[in-house]
């Protein structure tokens, strides 16, 4: 309860660009609702990318496992994320909920395997991003939350995205083409206090512009560190995405860290539950969420299946 009391009232000045109506059901918004462009970005000096421009990197193919499922979910029906065109009944043995999540599988959950991945380009403006119309998923989170590690885990490649113990390594909008048909996008982390103020301002501007104006953005995957209590900046970021009607999935990272309960410390599952309670008042429906670990690969297949059903629905509609 101490954590909940601490963040009872949030201030959105850090991320709020304009006042918006409360978001409609996120399950109905697999395509991003684009807002009018609110500002024009100044000319930026392109930072040197830390990524290699090497040839496409082949990724070992693997047999797609059967969808991890629970025939009887312990999650209440009103807290499940139910994709459109999906009928759900907890008494129905065919209802499948992805393990370690609140996400119900739909008929669109297919072609989830990753056969190839390659780095395409780094951009500092939305208009400089790839323009072939392929659907894409953006990974964003607080600095050092494990974005690059998760990306490498998803494609089963250790060095597709460079990882660093130093926060703030990612400084561009980095596009990675998957199976020559869709993109994973690695965005700069937020909340890195040691970064120069000018850099933090530029990152925030072009990241927000990307969210609001990227027509091929299917969903944002917001990474939250589950090994520690909820952070105010994460709650504000989630609320900003919701207020601007940008589809979002919460990805709880570092769920393998089993901290002992000393001085009020909590296990990852407890921190996940606390975070959901804190954002409940800002969403009409519960956002989809998945528990993950890049160390044990927990949640890897679940994320790919979730991305597949979002992507296939987006392509059809």
**pLDDT of 72-114, one tens digit each?**
447 888 899 999 999 887 777 678 999 999 999 999 999 999 9
Cα of 55 vs its chain's centroid, Å: 27
Residue 151 domain-assigned (yes or no): yes
Residue 13 domain-assigned (yes or no): no
Question: How high is the pLDDT of residue 112?
Answer: 95
Q: What are phi and psi of 21, to 5 degrees?
A: -70, 155
Residue 9 domain-assigned (yes or no): no
Cβ atoms within 10 Å of 296's Cβ, excluding its own? 11
Q: Give helix 300-316 / helix 147-155 axis angle, nearest 10°.
A: 80
Tell me the two tokens of residue 280. 């409940």
Tell me the two tokens of residue 144. 């050092």
Residue 189 domain-assigned (yes or no): yes
Residue 133 domain-assigned (yes or no): yes
Question: How high is the pLDDT of residue 305?
Answer: 97
Question: How high is the pLDDT of residue 28?
Answer: 37
Query: Exposed, middle or buried by CB within 10 Å (0-12, 13-18, 19+), for 81?
Result: buried
Q: What is the extent of the structural domain holding 210?
A: 52-74+83-316
- Rounded to 5, what percent of the chain is helix, strand, coil? 25, 15, 55
| CA atoms of 136 and 141, how far apart (whole Å) | 17
**Which CATH number does the domain housing residue 191 bear?**
3.40.50.300
Residue 16 domain-assigned (yes or no): no
Question: How high is the pLDDT of residue 259?
Answer: 61
Which regions of the chain are under pLDDT 50? 1-73, 162-169, 193, 200, 263
For 50, residues 6+ apart whose C-beta sits below 8 A from its C-beta are 162, 169, 170, 171
Tell me the two tokens of residue 64. 């797609």
C-alpha neighbours within 13 Å on the C-beta side of residue 121: 10
Q: What is the pTM of this model?
A: 0.74
Q: In the chain, what is the straight-line distance between the N-terminal and C-terminal CA atoms, in Å?
A: 42
Residue 37 domain-assigned (yes or no): no
Question: How high is the pLDDT of residue 280?
Answer: 84
**Which residue(s) pair with 115 in the sheet?**
none
Tell me the two tokens of residue 241. 């995405």
| CA atoms of 153 and 161, how far apart (whole Å) | 10
Question: How high is the pLDDT of residue 143?
Answer: 84
Count of domains in the chain? 1
Question: How high is the pLDDT of residue 159?
Answer: 56
Residue 17 domain-assigned (yes or no): no
């Amino acid at each position: 309860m101490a954590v909940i009391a601490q963040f009872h009232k949030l201030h959105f000045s850090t991320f709020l660009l304009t006042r918006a109506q409360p978001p409609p059901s996120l399950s109905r918004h697999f395509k991003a609702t684009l807002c009018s462009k609110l500002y024009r970005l100044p000319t930026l000096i392109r930072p040197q990318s830390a990524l290699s421009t090497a040839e496409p990197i082949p990724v070992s193919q693997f047999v797609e496992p059967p969808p991890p499922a629970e025939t009887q979910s312990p999650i209440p029906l009103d807290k499940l994320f139910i994709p459109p065109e999906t009928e759900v009944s907890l008494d129905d043995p065919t209802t499948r909920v992805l393990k370690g999540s609140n996400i119900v599988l739909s008929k669109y959950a297919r072609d989830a395997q990753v056969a190839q991945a390659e780095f395409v380009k780094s951009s500092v403006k939305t208009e400089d991003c790839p323009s072939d119309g392929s659907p894409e998923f953006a990974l964003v989170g607080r600095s050092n939350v494990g974005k690059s590690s998760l990306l490498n885990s998803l494609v089963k490649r250790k060095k597709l995205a460079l990882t660093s113990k130093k926060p703030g390594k990612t400084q561009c909008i980095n596009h990675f083409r998957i199976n020559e048909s869709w993109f994973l996008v690695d965005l700069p982390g937020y909340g890195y206090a040691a970064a120069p103020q000018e850099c933090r301002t530029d990152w925030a501007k072009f990241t927000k512009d990307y969210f609001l104006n990227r027509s091929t953005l299917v969903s944002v995957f917001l990474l939250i560190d589950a090994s520690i209590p909820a952070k105010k900046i994460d709650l504000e970021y989630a609320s900003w995405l919701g207020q601007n009607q940008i589809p979002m999935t919460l990805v709880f990272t570092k769920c393998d860290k089993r901290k002992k309960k000393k001085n009020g410390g909590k296990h990852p599952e407890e921190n996940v539950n606390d975070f959901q309670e804190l954002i409940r008042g800002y969403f009409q429906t519960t956002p989809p969420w998945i528990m993950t670990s890049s160390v044990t690969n927990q949640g890897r297949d679940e994320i790919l299946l979730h991305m597949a059903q979002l992507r296939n629905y987006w392509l059809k509609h």
